[in-house]
Amino acid sequence: MGLPRFARPSRPLSPTAPHFDLLSSIREALQVSNISWAEQHVGGHADRTKTWRQMSWWERRNSEVDDIAQGYADELIATDDTIATNPKFFSEPCAIYIDNEKVSCLALESVDEAVVLPELMEYWAAKGRLAPEHFRLVDWLIVHRAMKSLKPAEQRFITKHTVGMCDVGKFR
């Protein structure tokens, strides 16, 4: 059988896919391992339809891990901390952090925003176009949706018009 499907080099992982960090870390660990790995599907929640004695060894391990995961989720909920930390994995070659939080997949808009936005806010504040305290008053999600609904040429026109770079001989 060989490596699980997601770990096979013939199936490239996309950095923008969910759980890219975990999947690429598992792939790396499997590829450098001296152990010969075999793929086996284990049906989930076998404990709902079978007794402990009826379950296979793998189904029992799956049930145990489910219980541990549920306990951890309950602990997070009890402490009102519903977002678990995302640590750097031992075989993860590199990681990107935004505001001290590790990013699990490369969402280009989030990375771009973290890199560009602070400098952009300073620039527009210095130009007197939008004060830093006003940035939070803008519904950026609606602006994003509206801009994405336009053709690229219209997006450029709106952007230029908004910042005062209009075809009227004036640029602030």
Measure the CA angle with vertex 25, ends 20 and 29; round to 5°: 150
pLDDT tens digit string along 88-135?
888 787 888 887 888 888 887 778 888 888 888 888 888 777 788 888
* In the chain, where the domains are located: 5-102, 108-162
Average pLDDT over residues 28-34: 86
**What pLDDT is attached to residue 167?**
67
